[in-house]
Amino acid sequence: MLVICVSFIVCMLALYAIAAVSFLGGARKFQDMTDAAALSVAKKELKVSVALTPGIEAENFSTLAKQDGGTVDLLSYNRVIGQLLLVSLNAQSEQADGSMSALSHANQLWYAVQGSDQSIGKRLSNRLENAELAYEPFQNMVNLQSLTMIPGASPNFSSSQYKVSYMHAGDNTNVYLDESQLPPGADVGIGSLSKPKDLSGHRYIKGYTGINIGGVFNIQGTPVMPGCAPHLVSQRKFTEHLVSPTKDGFVPPNSFQSSARLDGKHPNLKFMACAMVGSLKQSFPASIPGGYIEIQKSGTETASVLELIDRAGVGAAPTIVPQLVQRAKEIQPELSEDDFIELLNNQKVEGSKLYISRNETSGQMEISSKAPQTFISGTSPDGTNKHFGTEQNGIAEFTPSSGYNNLLGLLTLRTNEKAPATNNDKAKEKEEQQRNKDRMKAIAEDLKAHAQAIKAQQEEKRSIAEALQAQQEEQRAQLQLNIAKTNERNAKEQMLKDEAALAKAEAHHNKTGEKKAEQLKRLAELAMQRAQKEMELALATKARAESEHRLSQINQNKALADLKVEQADKLLASKDLRLAAQAVKTASSEKTTTNTAQDKNVANGRRPAPMSLSVNVPGSSVQSQPDGMTSAANIILPQNEESKRIEDERASNDDSSRDHAPTAIVQNYKWD
């Protein structure tokens, strides 16, 4: 029987062990499924998009929207931020030249992108915070596998635990900025662009880092970690960045927390995972791909754009051409200066209006008489124009524009009218054309040198900015070191104060302890005295009780003696003197015993009251008289006439004969 019981217990333990191992393995697999589903959610959130609203959004950012209906997701949102940054920097430069409306136009774009509750950034944030959009990618991933080790369990997405976070502030967006795109006097601020991390030399716009524009507004992109895939992040770091980092706008989140629970037999088993988005191979330059430069020409003379600019006189080409190059690189960042100058030199200006823009089919820059699709009628430049030349030789004016409504500038060319040329004039014209070609070549070389000089100057500025940033970091480090030293000194002082306070507290505690000990000692003594008094009282109470008990016994003995005296009285009354004498003797003996008991009572501190005993017999008397501690009781018996005579005779002869008189018996009883 014992063997059967032991075998049963061993089998049950083995089954429980197998069930526990199976459950733990299932829980581990459940956690892996949750992690994979969280990564799937982060990957899917990159594609969550919002549609551009008609008006300022569609007019300015339609070329950056996805081709599935003009929507903006997290990746293209940063491209919108890049275009907004270029427009704002252009406006900042134009404001320095006296423009009054450029910065206002840039502010309108910022308001549409991330400055209001109806902005692109706010609407995209609301979509990303919607748990319903995360349900499908999460559930599809967990449904690809089954928890066979936990029978009857099915993982389900917990929408109540879905959260978003704004992690890795200061890390890169997926948009980089080429400094050759920046207008003169533009300042993106120190620390707004990352340092080059690869051979491409790209400097990415930092996410969740405000770029202040003219003290009016701050532009912020969202970090998406270019070159990284979506990846898991710790829940502790996730919960540290639940609040949006921007205070004057709305910017989308980049991290997401997903949770799953088991429905069925284990409803309390839950797992959660946090994941951040990543832009593995989707990086873009900041650009205004729908931008264009408008050219207006008056006069019938046909010539290239560069030639017409050069006719305006000295200073026209070196001033206007670099601005055209900078604006063209905002449209197409990969465009080289040589290619663009060659385009200006080869393209003949025919007609009254031309447009420098990006061909939507080939993606290359072109000068065409056909307006681009992003052209908005009635848009005028918001910068200050620069005028060169005379009516005799030709006039060239360039009015820069910030890029609001895609217009980046207006080039106005006016040529002089000439009479029909003769053969001699044709030869001169040919020579003039040759000289113009040589001059254009020299201008191109000058522009190239100027561009290189500008690039070198920008490199120098960047070096100065980096040196200044390094100096500021060094100052910040020194400041932190000083703060650390101050904190250490304060900590030491505080420690000394604490030690002094502790010592004082200990001294006070010791002093208080001594007083308390004395009080306790005094209380103990009082308690001991009280206990002694209570003991004495108890002893006194006990002695009193014993005395009362003895008194009660004495009273009983006295009552018995009284009874026997009464019996003796009765015997005397019957003149039985012998028996009466015997009774009196017996009564006296018991009274003596009673007196002995009273003596003991007196020795114990209780003195009884003196008592007297009287026995009345006809013709005789028995009396007891107290005399201190001793008293005498005389019993006088009656005498007849004969006895009196004999006694009188003896009395006359010898007084002592009275002690032997047969007719009179006198006995003394002493009481203590």
- Residue-wise pLDDT for 176-212, tens only, equals 998 888 898 888 877 888 877 655 678 899 999 999 9
- How far is Cα 293 from Cα 600, in angstroms, rounded to an integer? 142
69 or 318, which is more confident?
318
**Residue 32 predicted with pLDDT over 50:** yes
Residues 214 and 351 placed together within one structural domain of the fold? no
Q: At what angle do helices 423-573 and 577-603 cross, to 10 degrees?
A: 160
Is 4 within the bounds of a domain?
no
Is 527 within the bounds of a domain?
no
Residues 199 and 53 placed together within one structural domain of the fold? yes
Residues 281 and 313 placed together within one structural domain of the fold? no
Give how far Cα 325 sits from Cα of 337, 338, 342, Å. 6, 10, 11
Amino acid at position 642, single letter: E
Give how far Cα 306 sits from Cα of 15, 217, 445, Å. 90, 38, 13
SS3 string, 102-145, reads HHHHHHHHHHHHHCCCCCHHHHHHHHHCCHHHHHHHHHHHHCCC
Residues 297 and 279 placed together within one structural domain of the fold? no
Q: Name the band, by pLDDT with cuts 50, 70 and 90, for residue 265.
A: low
**What's the average model confidence in pLDDT over 430-453?**
70
Mean pLDDT lowest among 372-386, 429-443, 613-627: 613-627
Which residues, including other chains, have CB under 8 Å from residue 432's CB and lie 6 or more apart?
A: none
Q: Name the band, by pLDDT with cuts 50, 70 and 90, for residue 552.
A: confident
φ, ψ of residue 26 in degrees (nearest 5): -65, -40
Residues 228 and 368 placed together within one structural domain of the fold? no
3-state secondary structure at position 399: strand
Predicted local distance difference test score (pLDDT) of residue 516: 73
- How far is Cα 401 from Cα 404, in angstroms, rounded to an integer? 7
E strand intervals along 383-503: 386-390, 394-400, 407-414
E strand intervals along 582-653: 615-617, 620-625, 632-636
**Residue 632 predicted with pLDDT over 50:** no
Number of Cβ atoms within 10 Å of the Cβ of 648: 10
Q: Name the band, by pLDDT with cuts 50, 70 and 90, for residue 20.
A: low
Q: Name the domain boundary from 285, 310, 330.
A: 285
Q: What is the mean pLDDT of the chain?
A: 78
Mean pLDDT lowest among 450-459, 489-498, 516-525: 450-459
76 or 433, which is more confident?
76
Contact 569, 621 (CB under 8 A): no
- How far is Cα 174 from Cα 221, in angstroms, rounded to an integer? 9
Residue with tokens 């522009």: 447
What DSSP string runs through 288-305? -TT-EEEEEEESS---BH
From its phi and psi, is residue 10 left (phi > 0), alpha (psi between -120 and 50) or beta? alpha
Predicted local distance difference test score (pLDDT) of residue 24: 58
Predicted local distance difference test score (pLDDT) of residue 633: 40
Residues 227 and 278 placed together within one structural domain of the fold? yes
Residues 276 and 300 placed together within one structural domain of the fold? no
Is 496 within the bounds of a domain?
no
Is 557 within the bounds of a domain?
no
**What's the average model confidence in pLDDT over 302-326?**
84
Contact 290, 301 (CB under 8 A): no
What does the pLDDT look like over 117-138, one tens digit per residue? 999 999 999 999 999 999 898 8
Q: How many domains are contained in the chain?
A: 3
Contact 225, 171 (CB under 8 A): yes
Tokens of 34: 């949750």
Q: At what angle do helices 131-142 and 2-45 cross, to 10 degrees?
A: 130
Residues 77 and 208 placed together within one structural domain of the fold? yes
Residues 230 and 345 placed together within one structural domain of the fold? no
Is 147 within the bounds of a domain?
yes
Residues 407 and 266 placed together within one structural domain of the fold? no
Is 90 within the bounds of a domain?
yes
From its phi and psi, is residue 282 left (phi > 0), alpha (psi between -120 and 50) or beta? beta
Number of Cβ atoms within 10 Å of the Cβ of 152: 10
Predicted local distance difference test score (pLDDT) of residue 251: 95
Residues 328 and 216 placed together within one structural domain of the fold? no
Q: Name the band, by pLDDT with cuts 50, 70 and 90, for residue 529.
A: confident
**Residue 29 predicted with pLDDT over 60:** yes
- How far is Cα 131 from Cα 44, in angstroms, rounded to an integer? 12
Predicted local distance difference test score (pLDDT) of residue 131: 92
Predicted local distance difference test score (pLDDT) of residue 617: 42
Q: Which residues constitute the domain of residue 299?
A: 292-418
Q: Name the band, by pLDDT with cuts 50, 70 and 90, for residue 623.
A: very low
- Sign of torsion over alpha carbons 558, 559, 563, 565: positive
For the range 556-562, what are the long-range contacts, defined as Cβ-Cβ under 8 Å and sequence gap of 24 or more? 557/590, 557/593, 557/594, 557/597, 558/594, 558/611, 560/590, 561/587, 561/590, 561/591, 561/594, 561/613
Q: What is the pTM of this model?
A: 0.63
Contact 395, 414 (CB under 8 A): yes
**Residue 622 predicted with pLDDT over 50:** no
What does the pLDDT look like over 220-249, one tens digit per residue? 999 998 888 999 999 999 999 999 988 777
Number of Cβ atoms within 10 Å of the Cβ of 624: 20
Q: At what angle do helices 337-346 and 316-331 cross, to 10 degrees?
A: 120
Is 489 within the bounds of a domain?
no
- How far is Cα 273 from Cα 235, in angstroms, rounded to an integer? 7
Tokens of 64: 């950056």
Helix runs in 604-655, H state only: 641-653
CA angle 411, 412, 415 (to 5 degrees): 135
Instruction: Select, from the ranges 40-44, 295-299, 439-443, 595-599, the one with the highest average predicted confidence (pLDDT).
Output: 40-44
Which residues, including other chains, have CB under 8 Å from residue 423's CB and lie 6 or more apart?
A: none
Q: Name the domain boundary from 392, 418, 444.
A: 418
Q: Name the band, by pLDDT with cuts 50, 70 and 90, for residue 507.
A: confident
Predicted local distance difference test score (pLDDT) of residue 55: 92
348 or 284, which is more confident?
284
Closest CA to 380 of 412, 413, 407, 411: 407
Is 60 within the bounds of a domain?
yes
3-state secondary structure at position 348: strand
Residues 317 and 238 placed together within one structural domain of the fold? no
Instruction: Select, from the ranges 263-272, 279-288, 641-650, the one with the highest average predicted confidence (pLDDT).
Output: 279-288
Residue with tokens 């009193």: 544
Q: Name the domain boundary from 418, 437, 466.
A: 418
C-alpha 307: how far from chain center:
67
Amino acid at position 325, single letter: V
Predicted local distance difference test score (pLDDT) of residue 421: 46
Mean pLDDT lowest among 51-55, 59-63, 377-381, 419-423: 419-423
Predicted local distance difference test score (pLDDT) of residue 480: 78
**Residue 605 predicted with pLDDT over 80:** no
